[in-house]
Amino acid sequence: MQSQTVDHHSGVNLGVAPVTYGQGDRPPRGDYARARPDYTRDQDWEAYTAEEHDLYRRLYERQAAQLPGLGCREFIEAVQHLGRPDRIPRFDELSERLYRLTRWQVVAVPGLIPEEAFFKLLSERRFPVTNWIRKPEEFDYVVEPDVFHDLFGHVPLLFNPVFADYMQAYGAGGLKASRLGACELLARLYWYTVEFGLIRSDDGVRAYGAGILSSAGELRYSVCSPEPNRVPFDLERIMRTRYKIDTYQATYFVIDSFQQLFDATEPDFTPIYERVRAQPEIAAGTVLPGETLLSPAR
């Protein structure tokens, strides 16, 4: 059940409670008072300023210029579906295009939302997108996901039918994981695929993860640098592997195709969770004995 904030003098529902993950002194910046019980809210597109649209344009142009040779072909082909890069897209117009192709929609949220609410939206093929955009001084790095990260990083691959089905399956699996107390294990799968995943191509590894594709520096680092480990996709290995939230990743996992990703994550995870829990966790930068590492892109 979602927590509600209520003015007990007036009885007016003031929205859902703000959400934070990790530790920090700065409160969430989203307007949770205007959110519905499922954490969705109106986008309020008319409230964006000319400066905010221009900031989106500059972010978009910077990342789009890096895509050739670094982003995967599927993403490069799909990013055009976002529409005009000179303004923040209207979620309703974007949803119309998306629904026609893969039956997904985008919905506005005030910021981070609880795991249960997040899983439920994904299971309904509704992707939550933060409605606010970062400040100009956060051009290179923003602590919380903003509208640019969510739109540019996540939404294009929802136009890919196989990846779109994977995302819905992940949401349904998340609802089950919450009942089994396995959300942390499933979060690692999301981190190492949806956020920081790499995929093989004829020219070497390419990025498909949203956290990479929306990052100014990690896109080239993840694909080209000799420093990080690039490990072939292994579901149980991923669930055992801790990750870093404040630096570039020390390890990336590489899939052969989106179909491989969907097939590997289709079975019931209940026995997988049991096997993973019986094994020790793996530190982020660890290379296991006999493990094959993939080379950076040429």
Active site residue: 95, 154, 215, 218, which one?
154
The residue from 123, 214, 215, 222 that is catalytic is: 214
Catalytic residue among 95, 123, 149, 215: 149
Among this protein's residues, is 222 annotated catalytic?
no
Catalytic residue check, 195: yes
Q: Is 139 exposed, middle or buried, given 0-12, 13-18 or 19+ CB atoms closer than 10 A?
A: middle
- Which residue out of 195, 215, 218, 222 is catalytically annotated? 195
Active site residue 184: no
9 is catalytic: no
The residues assigned a catalytic role are 149, 154, 195, 214
